[in-house]
């Protein structure tokens, strides 16, 4: 048999057809949803993600943003006069709203000391209760 060259479209190995397992391959880490939360809050600039109280490190932030863009959850753009880069959610990214909301709700109900304070009114509205 011939040795196959790697195809252009990377074949992503799926652990199983379970929607829970597959979703975890997208958001199953300690940082992705924190960044998505910030995107919902309107945070778009690199330095502003860094300013969030969790203290994400620069290499992880860069890697996560790149991945979110690759996967179509966020897009990178710049407003012409300024050449500053910024990120914002795509429609696909916004689909994570209800899930994010469930996560927040569980935390508020089950982890003492958690506060909805980072979830300003616009966020809360965006997440749709």
Partner DNA sequence: AATATTACTTGCATAATGCAAGTGAATCAA
Partner DNA sequence: TTGATTCACTTGCATTATGCAAGTAATATT
Cα–Cα distance between 93 and 73 in angstroms, integer?
Answer: 4
Instruction: Concatenate the DSSP letters of all residues of 70-87 into one string.
Output: HTTSEEEE--TTS---EE
Q: Is 56 in the site for DNA (CB under 7 A)?
A: yes
- We find the least distance from the C-beta atom of residue 34 to DNA, in angstroms, to be 10
Instruction: Look at residues 16, 17, 61 and name the one whose alpha carbon lies nearest to residue 39.
Output: 61
Q: Site residues for DNA, window 72-101 (CB under 7 A)?
A: 76, 82-86
Exactly one of 2, 59, 110, 129 binds DNA (CB under 7 A); that residue is: 59
The footprint of a second copy (CB under 8 A) covers: 14-26, 28-31, 33-34, 37, 52-55, 92, 95-96, 98-111, 113-119
């Amino acid at each position: 048999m011939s040795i196959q060259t790697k195809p252009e479209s990377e074949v992503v190995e799926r652990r199983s057809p379970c929607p829970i397992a597959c979703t975890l391959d997208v958001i199953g880490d300690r940082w992705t949803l924190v960044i998505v939360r910030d995107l919902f809050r309107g945070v778009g600039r690199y330095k502003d993600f860094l300013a969030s109280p969790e203290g994400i490190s620069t290499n992880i932030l860069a890697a996560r943003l790149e991945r979110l863009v690759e996967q179509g959850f966020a897009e990178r753009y710049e407003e012409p006069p300024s050449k500053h880069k910024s990120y914002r959610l795509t429609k696909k990214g916004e689909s994570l709203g209800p899930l994010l909301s469930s996560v927040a709700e569980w935390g508020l109900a089950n982890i003492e000391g958690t506060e909805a304070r980072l979830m300003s009114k616009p966020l809360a509205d965006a997440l749709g209760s």
